[in-house]
Amino acid sequence: MPHPPSDLVRDFERRAPEVRVLVVGDAMLDVYLDGSASRISPEAPVPVVRVEGERRALGGAANVAANVKALGAACALVACVGRDAEGDALLEELARAGVEAGGVERSSDRPTSVKTRVLVRGQQVARYDRETHDELTPAAAGAVIDALERTAGPVHAVAIEDYDKGVMTGAVVAAALSFARARSIPVVVDPKARGFFAYAGATVFKPNRSELEAALREPVRASDAGWLAGVLRRLECDALVITLGEDGMVFVEAGGDVQEIPTVARSVFDVSGAGDTVTAVLATALGAGFGVREAATLANQAAGVQVGKSGVATVSAREIARAADRGARAASTAPGEEFPEDNI
């Protein structure tokens, strides 16, 4: 059944406020330039966009943290950003989202990662990035590890969001895994190419299809239980969750239990940030004591809500519940029969 049972969703909504998640990784600032275009540039065959508005949002690990907060849980972020105006703006957005940002270090050696999207009537026509992919210097990595180790208060799960921007060095990865291991709490990893196989011991390893294919240099065989079990053994993690875009997701646990979860997206407006939402729900659900199967089902429902929104966006536990209710009503409605929509 693609939609989660209502009692599971309600239980998640009730338990999420009792959870505190620590997010570690590459924090970014997303900038959206909204405008209109009515002519082609005389200088090149490109549209001339008249910018009419600008807005900012959290990206990368910062977006995972914002999603955790939107779910009703508490969240602390450990990251490293530049000593620049964009870093100031990112910290302002974290404060607005209610994310604990005492673990966000500042470095003069690197800029804050910024992704600027140009949209015309809601459609993206261009994106430009200002960032570095260089690994943190030993001094900056040490500062991030210190920030991780001084995290106070209860932590129920760790989410590692690696966007290959250089924060998740080998030393930082080891420190994050050690932090979780010392507290016997689950770790959810969203990996990228560099250091893909560095997360042995994680609870859930969550690549998307293209990331896994690039790392393994072979196509993903999402319906082959033996192949999936072999990948899981190679990664040395407890469970593997592969997001498959319009095909939903599949997960396999160490015991060989495999489940394919079809997508529940009713419409896809923008896939930006969907992986961040999945990571946030997995970590929050595992921190609340749910199993991987339940967490993956909840995360799949949340992704279906997120892709119906414009740009990088958060999803609340209430939105997951409403979407699940709609799906259940639609499934029980006779062909041709109408059922009321909810406003989210």
Q: Tell me the H-state helices in the chain.
A: 6-15, 61-70, 85-97, 138-149, 170-183, 209-216, 225-235, 274-287, 292-306, 317-331
In the sheet with 157-161, reading across from the earlier edge strand, the strands are 100-107, 74-82, 20-25, 157-161, 187-190, 204-205, 239-243, 249-253, 258-261
State both tokens at 206: 């969550």
Amino acid at 78: V
SS3 62: helix
325: annotated active-site residue: no
Catalytic residue among 30, 270, 276, 325: 276
Rg (alpha carbons) of the chain, rounded to whole number: 20
Q: CB-side exposure of 98: number of CA atoms within 13 Å? A: 12
| Residue reference for tokens 């995972």 | 64
DSSP string, 269-328: S--TTHHHHHHHHHHHHHHTT--HHHHHHHHHHHHHHHTTSSSS----HHHHHHHHHHHH
Q: How far apart are CA 188 and CA 202, in angstroms?
A: 7
Q: How far apart are CA 296 and CA 107, in angstroms?
A: 36
State both tokens at 23: 């997010």
Burial (CB count within 10 angstroms: exposed 0-12, middle 13-18, buried 19+), residue 226: exposed
Q: How far apart are CA 159 and CA 164, in angstroms?
A: 15
SS3 118: strand
* Residues labelled as active-site residues: 276
